[in-house]
Amino acid sequence: MTLWILSVFLAFFLLHYLVEAGLTVLNLRQVAAHGGRVPPGLAGWLAPETARRSQAYTLAKGRFALLRGTVGAVVTLAVLFSGLLPWLDARLGAAGLAGANLFVAYLVALGALLGVVSLPFRLYATFAIETRFGFNRMTWRMWLRDRLKGLCIAAALGLPFLYGVHAFMAHTGAWWWLWLFAFVTAFQLVMVWLYPTLIAPLFNRFTPLPAGEMRERVEALARKAGFRMRGLYLMDASRRSGHSNAYFTGFFRPRIVLFDTLLEKVSVDEALAVLAHEIGHYRARHVHKSLAIHMAGLLLTLYLLSLLLHWPPLFQAFGFAAPSYHAALALLTLGGGAFTFFLAPLAAWYSRRNEYEADAYSVRLLGLPKALKSALIRLNDQNLSNLAPHPWYSRYHYSHPTLLERLAALERLVARHPAERSDLALAPGGAPTP
């Protein structure tokens, strides 16, 4: 039985690794061959220098991802097969820990180990790659302060959460997975409320967007869309990074957060087009549907976990004497991805579909397709997004359509609604060259 379990696991694990590494290699080749040119549809809208920088940035990140993925796979296999997991269990047990304390200590120790292994990669990503391309604005001091704050928050929220998880697993009977599902869902909903009000302000300053044209027009836009918001904030994202963005937090009356880096670079029309896109996600209930899908996935995972806990051969295969809650969670965390990775392209497809819908909503609500077009190009510019990903790679990974796909969809939309045609004069003009 043991051999059979390990063979099935290894086969799935290797398949997962080969699929993702293979796609990354395909993408790197594609970008190395074609990524440095301005795509024909964007001539005049995009500076040749930007295309070259986006190629170099994509190659640097892709090669690094390949290395990181390979090391990650090797470390995961080493942790699973070196006997480390049962050894840790025995050591903590010998130190007198049992029940909830053993459960929490085991998962914290494992989390700390994986955190230490990923540390050099996170440092390299921030201080080598992001710095080389002019995005990183963090000093070492700031980085360390952020990590310390993150650890304190993880301890303050994560430890009680883990004790809660154990209590539900151990003390609610045969239907524990259903109780635990309710607990985890409630915890996540509380976090959605806690994050913008208590946690995010520990890292960034949020100021209400000052009165002026921008504020007036966003409020008018929200009224027109019948969209209730909890507030409109400007975040000092430029302290850490040059990437720009905007986000909404909350499920029913979200607050809107604009990065100061976004407002530095786009016109009011362009910012409105982006916000109308975000409002589109709420009006089309994408946020709620994604939450529902996520909850269904969680419920299924916990149910499967409840079945696996009654299957001792699984635990014996990985060196444990008997099933335990913490061993089950450790195996799920380290090995679960090998059995779910084929869902990634489905999730990405669903997300891309929503992005097209939100773009269409923005155009219908605002009637400013040209502003959306130039906003998308500017965002692409500022984030140096890959202009020419390999189609398999983007099908698998991309939660957003590529810039060219989104622009093509915009053109089709405008062609179907000639009233908006005049605005989407697709010839270059006021082109956002950096």
Residues forming the active site: 278, 359
* Cβ nearer to Zn ion, comparing 358 with 372: 358
Q: How far is the CB of 293 from Zn ion (least distance, A)?
A: 16
Q: How far is the CB of 281 from Zn ion (least distance, A)?
A: 6
Between CA 98 and CA 106, with CA 102 as vertex, the angle to 5 degrees is 155
CA-CA distances (angstroms) from residue 310 to 139, 306, 321, 326?
A: 50, 7, 13, 14
Q: How far is the CB of 372 from Zn ion (least distance, A)?
A: 11
The number of CA neighbours under 13 Å toward the Cβ of 138 is 23
CA separation for the pair 398, 392 (Å, rounded): 10
Burial class of residue 208 (count of CB atoms within 10 Å of its CB; 0-12, 13-18, 19+): exposed
Q: How far is the CB of 277 from Zn ion (least distance, A)?
A: 6
Q: How far is the CB of 98 from Zn ion (least distance, A)?
A: 48
Q: How far is the CB of 314 from Zn ion (least distance, A)?
A: 40
Calculate the dihedral angle through the C-alpha atoms of 38, 42, 46, 50, rounding to the nearest 10 degrees: -30
* Cβ nearer to Zn ion, comparing 36 with 369: 369
* Cβ nearer to Zn ion, comparing 270 with 355: 355
CA separation for the pair 300, 48 (Å, rounded): 48
Radius of gyration of the chain (CA): 24
Using alpha carbons, select from 292, 270, 285 the residue that is nearest to residue 227: 285
Contact positions toward Zn ion, by CB under 5 A? Answer: 355, 358
CA separation for the pair 238, 377 (Å, rounded): 20
Residue 101 gets the label, from left (phi > 0), alpha (psi -120 to 50) or beta, of alpha
* E strands, 186-333, in order: 206-208, 231-235, 246-249, 255-259
CB–CB of 433/47 below 8 Å? yes
Q: Which residue has the tokens 């507030």?
A: 231
